[in-house]
A = this chain, B = another copy of it.
Amino acid sequence: MAASERNYVIGVDIGGQTSKLGVVDARGNVLAQSVIRTDTHDDVDLYIKDLAVAIRKLADQVEGLAKVRGIGMGVPNGNYYRGTIEFAPNLPWKGVIKLAELLENEIGLPVALTNDANAAAVGEMTYGAARGMKDFIMITLGTGVGSGIVVGGNVVYGHDGFAGELGHTIQVRKNGRLCGCGRTGCLEAYTSAVGVARTAREILETTDRETSLRDLPWDQITSKDVADAAQAGDEVAIEVFNFTGHMLGAALADFVAFSSPEAIVLFGGLTKAGDLLKKPVEEGLNNSLLPLWKDKVKVVFSQLKESDAAILGASALAWEL
């Protein structure tokens, strides 16, 4: 069969609890998808066998594996060069796991993997807001802050495969908040969904300013609560987004000085806040940029449907195989 007849790819997004997979065409349509459990598979060999069964079932909906070009995976702590998962804290398999090789041997198709944020960047370049762009930075704003950097049309993997940890740049707030990584002042500690809730709680705790956020249980405030309050005109909540956006924008200015991207693509739960987030990000960015770049770097939201984005991102890797 000619390679040109392999018109589909399969994307697998491995999370701590479940693994989502889907078969995707060249235009970014997810034609079929399914889910298997990750957390119940302490033995990675059994996980691979179950994953292979699920992949074959999916492929049957597009006339079988013979129509599939390859498999892309987005995984925590994924190393693109080695096809490995390395010391992923939220997965059942410890140490270094040769996941790509295991799956290739089981299923007989080429497999590529990378971490979630890099996969998201490739997805955006293949099907989304970064189509046609060769230089952009994807920032994922979820529970944590991740990044996927594209330079000259290629993801920046770096010497060891772990490049693009912009959520763990620490110059943005010297001696700042403690981060999950054990250091202080990481961008992630401020501009993630968790960071937004933390900023709101800090204001509630250290001031007696009036805000509808005080009606909520203090320790259960989420970034969505803050966004809802801000949309309803709550001044404290609006200030939380201004603070967050300005800080993210200022940090982005330094990233622009590094790779001079055409655009910054924002992705993840926090982007649901829309202009509440985007406007202060643009302000913070343009206030901190060298004159050379002022008002020239686009800030755009991801254009991938959120429910499909992880599968699309992973699948996009497979077109390059």
Query: In the bound complex, do residue B158 and residue A261 qualify as a contact, i.e. CB atoms below 8 Å apart?
Result: yes
The range of chain A's interface size is 35 or more
Query: In the bound complex, do residue A258 and residue B260 qualify as a contact, i.e. CB atoms below 8 Å apart?
Result: no
Judge if A117 is at the interface, Cβ distance under 8 Å: no
Query: In the bound complex, do residue B261 and residue A159 qualify as a contact, i.e. CB atoms below 8 Å apart?
Result: yes
Residues of B within 8 A of A282 (CB): none
Report copies per complex: 2
Which of A3-11, A233-241, A287-295 faces chain B? A287-295
Closest to A167 in B: B257
Judge if A134 is at the interface, Cβ distance under 8 Å: yes
Task: Report the minimal beta-carbon distance from A273 to chain B, rounded to whole angstroms.
Answer: 23
Q: A258-B255, A290-B168 are in contact. Are A159 and B135 (CB under 8 A)?
A: yes
Q: Looking at A156, A253, A257, which has the most chain B CB atoms within 10 Å of its CB?
A: A257
A259 CA to B56 CA, complexed, in Å:
37
Judge if A166 is at the interface, Cβ distance under 8 Å: yes
Residues of B within 8 A of A162 (CB): 260, 292-293
Residues of B within 8 A of A292 (CB): 162, 165
Task: Report the minimal beta-carbon distance from A99 to chain B, rounded to whole angstroms.
Answer: 19
Q: A-B pairs with the 9 shortest C-beta distances? A: A158-B260, A171-B171, A163-B260, A159-B262, A169-B254, A135-B159, A165-B257, A163-B259, A169-B257
Which residue numbers of A lie inside 8 Å of B, CB to CB?
Answer: 133-135, 149, 151-152, 154, 156-166, 168-172, 174, 181-183, 250-251, 253-255, 257-262, 288, 290-293, 296
Q: Can you pick out 17 interface pairs between chain A and chain B where the beta carbons lie within 8 Å of each other?
A: A149-B258, A151-B163, A152-B156, A152-B157, A157-B260, A159-B261, A159-B262, A160-B296, A163-B260, A164-B258, A166-B257, A168-B290, A169-B257, A170-B254, A174-B174, A183-B290, A255-B258
